[in-house]
Structure 1
Amino acid sequence: MKLELRGITKSFGPLVANDHIDLVVEEGQVHALLGENGAGKSTLMNVLFGLYQADSGEIVVDDAPVAFRGPGDALRAGIGMVHQHFMLVPVFTVAENVMLGSEDTKAGGFLDLETARRRVRELSSRFGFDLDPDAVVEDLPVGVQQRVEIVKALAREAKVLILDEPTAVLTPQETDELIEIMRQLKAAGTSIVFITHKLREVKAVADVITVIRRGKVMGSAEPTASEGELASLMVGRAVSLGLDKAPATPGERTFTVSHLTVTSPTGQAVVDDVTFDVAQGEIVAIAGVQGNGQTELSEAILGLLPAASGSISLDGREITGLSPDKVLRAGVGFVPEDRKVDGLVLDFSVAENLVLDLYDKPPYAKGGIALDLAAIRANAEKRIAEFDIRTQGPTEHVGRLSGGNQQKVVLARELSRPLKLFIASQPTRGVDVGSIEFLHRRIVQERDNGTPVIIVSTELDEVVELADRIAVMYRGKIIGIVPSTTPRDVLGLMMAGVPHDEAISQATSPASPRDDQTGKTQ
């Protein structure tokens, strides 16, 4: 099936998310839609799938214009979509999820689950998915849940499959498996629209690459194009993708987490007996697939979550149980994973956001009551220049800045005072390639100033680029702390829960698939 988008425009108030976009997807083609977060990729696909209605433009299937009033229309036209956040019912089985929304019935109006089971087995066998139709979805690894989403679309006879940031929650091994699945689907005649911002994956699987920037098509590229060329198309200027950093020279280990356990409201250990330390002048990266306790670990260090047991010490001082304000006063700088929710006040100015944790202290306050506006403005002008914050000035609302410049504001605020520990959680999430280059350099500079640094990231490329040591978390536990030179396939296996020594063994010799990763019952 051939798919065309002609002149698609979609606005949300004054924001033009898609600006006269043209796109052609040929039958049996992997067409990559490459662009930074916020470039308009997902909006365009939501228009194609009938979730949004375009302001203008048309969708053409096999040379015939079509109108989709909802996802049902798109599905009936042969278009399926696997969303970045899976649309599965966790307590349902694989077969129940696959039939949801297009339920077959038998005599008496009862659901025909056997037909759904048979369809799952058939598609699973054809594409090597190895799915058990009676497995409960919440018991499956994330990569297997994604296969369930793909089978859902194929069961509805999708001829075009949209994959929206499909590798965001996968280990490297699961990503490789997905790429192989995409190749198999392509060989079977299925067209794939692959939405991503990851250059390595695009080059591995795409037939055609279309780059979108700020809602517009900036051009097309061949998979043979270098990562530098693709990055330049994405951001509109030449960027350096490599980080030139000197080897670390670690000093005293001044930050220690010992047997830390944090529990959820239901009593489940989300951080489970975690122990590690960080030296002055060292970057320790906490790696793992999202949802394995990294967020809770960083929030417990800051005092946002209480510790059920264990201790956290900084410079020989116990900081377990201190309030976030006291932890910050103890010399901790913290970049939260969601800057818009936890790191910034979007309706405040750049200048105000730069002193959010210091506004009541000299030189920004007079007598602890009145703000010294001149000092606040002078600080903003200095930080704007130092951190290359692209803004119209100190009084501009921070909510009007790009994601990269918002992140620079957070980083500038946290690094504008002497620190004894610096923590950055997902430091480049939703940030353009050019800003990533700057942020990485500034984090390494803080390490070189002698500060212990913790990076929490689900991006393995970022972990390997920044880290001096890597602590891998899986289901709340640190299952190994390894050098940054550890091979990617070993790290990927550890992110899937394989202990370090076993991961090395599996990475260096052929191994049979693990049953707990396939969704098969024993």
Structure 2
Amino acid sequence: MLSNTPGSPTLHSNAAMAVELTGITKRFGAFVANDGIDLAVRRGEIHAIIGENGAGKTTLMNILLGLLQPDEGSIRLNGEEIVIADPSVAIKAGLGMVHQHFKLVPSLSVADNVFLGMEIRRHGLIDHAAQVARTRDLSKRFGLQVDPTERVGLLSVGIEQRIEILKVLVRGARTIILDEPTAVLTPQESRELFQTLRSFVAEGMTVIFISHHLEEVMEVSDTVTVLRNGRKVATRPTAELSKDQLVHMMVGREVSFDRRPRASLHGDVVLQVKDLWARDDRLLPALRDASFTVRSGEVVGIAGVAGNGQTELAEVLSGLRPASHGGAWLKGQNLTALSPAAIRQAGLAHVPGDRMVRGVDRNASIAANTLMGRQHRAPWSRGGMLNWNAINQNAETLIKSFDIRARGPGDAVKRLSGGNIQKVVLAREFTNGADFLLIDQPTRGVDIGAQEAIHDEIMRQRAAGRAILLISVQLDELAALADRILVMFNGRIMGEVSGDDADEERIGMMMAGVAAPEFAAETAS
């Protein structure tokens, strides 16, 4: 049996090649996305591919899946050369990919989504019972716990990812590609995913794992390939590398994620939240009696496992969900009585947690996306007419300032990598002149170099006197940036810790529902 231990000699010495890409080159006009890349992935290993946004990772995988055709180079699967003309060829050859952004039908059941397009039929009709049984068998076999009869629209993002994995398994995939698979998962869900990947390897399957999270790469992969600027830097056994070496190979320099130095700038209260309650989409209490303040020149972090009221808090503050009780005041104005547009005018800028749903119009250009929310203001609009010269010049400036990897402001956002799409959102919101920044998961799906740049920008906004509420599932991010950290569980704030003393064990206890003594006393009273 093949060993599951990362860096296992068995995997590197005896396993045959599942995938071999040789001299892969792909151009988009004058831009070279892949430049003569060689990649060899052994059967029965977890092979990580890392690199900054725009390094060529997604393009390379799209070529392997037949979504794009290479301008040069060849592909071999299990030792045989193959031309993957379209995705159907890839599927028949045993390849499957779970993308960053899921493609599920919310109104259908789990089983119906799994078999969508290849339904099991009996006497000409869809055999729903057979689809449910097959889905249940696969989920048990690989530890992907799902209820095949549940409607997808009621499920968490973590469960949705399991459904996407089941979709590729039921189509016979033996090599599974996962693009930023943990970007939308809680730490617990990520650990469950890693167990699933190891179960794949135990059955002789192959996993290609694209990620920006180096701790995960070090934990789960056997081999790692680093791409930079469309070229391969190196392929090495993971056990031979340190995290610092990987960072240097990715970006060509050292990157620091230590706690950022700061001056004490806490000024007047900008946001006051008092006794705030809200219901979720099922009309159940999701936010319970939240009270806190955020001052100018302060970063207040919100920690907690996803699904514990953080989303509802952000939605209430931005006007996307009504409060059921209590209030939130931005410089004296009650936000719960205002529309989203009025809230933005009152001085709130919002980086939403789901960039594809509420952050961008994926079909519009970069320039159009950077315009959103300011389209009625000079110099971008005069006399009811848009000034596209000013709009494009502003977009070009933001592309340079935020290092958005694109050909120009006319590029459609849907053509960008996930991290570059996030940069478009950040560029628009951080330059809006707002007094209060509501930032939800700012570095989700963003590469190491870009994470450092985003953290630097958040600290610059703090130094400029902005009041910042930072929601993140990454405790190390909160520890690096926040002045104070509030911990949420089941819609309640369980306690507060200083960013200077962000003890992970103490925060973890509160994330699991154990209130800090002072908060427990308040709740009891």
What range describes the TM-score normalised by the shorter chain of this pair?
0.7 to 0.9
Q: Which of 24, 28, 41 is the aligned partner of 1:25?
A: 41
Q: Given the superposition, is the C-alpha separation of residues 239 and 407 from structure 1 closer, same or farther in structure 2, using an over 3 Å criterion?
A: farther
Deviation at 1:161, TM superposition (A): 0.9
Specify the alignment match of 1:255 in structure 2. Answer: 271
Superposition map of 1:307-326 within 5 A: 310-318=326-334, 320-321=336-337
- Residue deviations 1:435-473 (CA, integer Å, cap 9, x gap): 432432343355466653212345444234322333456
Which sits farther off after the overlay, 284-293 or 20-29? 284-293
Q: Distance in 2 between matches of 1:135 and 1:323?
A: 34
Q: Which amino acid aligns with 2:222?
A: D
Specify the alignment match of 2:521 in structure 1. Answer: none
Q: Distance in 2 between matches of 1:162 and 1:114?
A: 29
Q: Which of 455, 458, 477 is the aligned partner of 2:470?
A: 455
Matched, 1:499 2:517: no
- Residue deviations 1:465-504 (CA, integer Å, cap 9, x gap): 32233345678x4454542566657867977xx53449xx
Specify the alignment match of 2:431 in structure 1. Answer: 413
Q: Distance in 2 between matches of 1:326 and 1:95?
A: 43
Q: Distance in 2 between matches of 1:390 and 1:255?
A: 31
Superposition map of 1:342-381 within 5 A: 346-347=366-367
Q: Distance in 1 between matches of 2:159 and 2:438?
A: 32
Specify the alignment match of 1:197 in structure 2. Answer: 212
- Residue deviations 1:381-427 (CA, integer Å, cap 9, x gap): xx99xx97679xxxx96979977986785576356x8x4x3433443
- Residue deviations 1:245-291 (CA, integer Å, cap 9, x gap): 35968566552123446789x89689745633224343222346778
Specify the alignment match of 2:484 in structure 1. Answer: 469
Superposition map of 1:103-252 within 5 A: 103-106=119-122, 108-223=123-238, 224-245=240-261
Specify the SS of the correspondent of 1:74.
helix
Specify the SS of the correspondent of 1:2.
strand
Q: Distance in 2 between matches of 1:96 and 1:334?
A: 36
Q: Which amino acid aligns with 2:50?
A: L
TM-score, length-scaled by structure 1: 0.72
How many pairs were matched up? 473
Q: Given the superposition, is the C-alpha separation of residues 163 and 489 from structure 1 closer, same or farther in structure 2, using an over 3 Å criterion?
A: farther
Q: Given the superposition, is the C-alpha separation of residues 240 and 399 from structure 1 closer, same or farther in structure 2, using an over 3 Å criterion?
A: farther
Superposition map of 1:7-156 within 5 A: 7-106=23-122, 108-156=123-171
Specify the SS of the correspondent of 2:121.
coil
8 Å Cα contact 2:290/2:493 also seen in 1: no
8 Å Cα contact 2:20/2:77 also seen in 1: yes
- Residue deviations 1:292-321 (CA, integer Å, cap 9, x gap): 775665465456777676432234454554
Q: Which amino acid aligns with 2:62?
A: N
Q: Distance in 2 between matches of 1:359 and 1:114?
A: 57
Specify the alignment match of 2:454 in structure 1. Answer: 439
8 Å Cα contact 1:6/1:22 also seen in 2: yes
Specify the SS of the correspondent of 2:163.
helix
Question: Unaligned 5+ residue runs, structure 2?
Answer: 1-16, 384-389, 517-525
Specify the SS of the correspondent of 1:18.
strand
Q: Distance in 2 between matches of 1:413 and 1:282?
A: 18
Q: Given the superposition, is the C-alpha separation of residues 158 and 411 from structure 1 closer, same or farther in structure 2, using an over 3 Å criterion?
A: closer
8 Å Cα contact 1:30/1:208 also seen in 2: yes
8 Å Cα contact 1:278/1:452 also seen in 2: no
8 Å Cα contact 1:170/1:289 also seen in 2: no
Deviation at 1:32, TM superposition (A): 0.5
Specify the alignment match of 1:518 in structure 2. Answer: none
Q: Distance in 2 between matches of 1:345 and 1:82?
A: 26
Q: Given the superposition, is the C-alpha separation of residues 262 and 19 from structure 1 closer, same or farther in structure 2, using an over 3 Å criterion?
A: farther
8 Å Cα contact 1:8/1:19 also seen in 2: yes
Q: Distance in 2 between matches of 1:274 and 1:38?
A: 43
8 Å Cα contact 2:298/2:468 also seen in 1: yes
8 Å Cα contact 1:262/1:306 also seen in 2: yes
Q: Given the superposition, is the C-alpha separation of residues 210 and 258 from structure 1 closer, same or farther in structure 2, using an over 3 Å criterion?
A: same
Specify the alignment match of 2:12 in structure 1. Answer: none
Q: Distance in 1 between matches of 2:27 and 2:493?
A: 46
Matched, 1:6 2:36: no
Specify the SS of the correspondent of 2:144.
coil
Q: Distance in 2 between matches of 1:290 and 1:439?
A: 21
Specify the SS of the correspondent of 1:37.
coil
Deviation at 1:173, TM superposition (A): 0.6
Specify the SS of the correspondent of 2:24.
strand
Question: Unaligned 5+ residue runs, structure 1?
Answer: 370-375, 503-522
8 Å Cα contact 1:38/1:430 also seen in 2: no
Deviation at 1:77, TM superposition (A): 1.1
Q: Which amino acid aligns with 2:513?
A: P
Superposition map of 1:270-285 within 5 A: 272=287, 275-280=290-295, 281-285=297-301
Q: Distance in 1 between matches of 2:163 and 2:402?
A: 43
TM-score, length-scaled by structure 2: 0.72
Percent sequence identity is 39
Q: Distance in 2 between matches of 1:30 and 1:63?
A: 18
Q: Which amino acid aligns with 1:184?
A: S
Superposition map of 1:277-296 within 5 A: 277-280=292-295, 281-287=297-303
8 Å Cα contact 1:251/1:279 also seen in 2: no
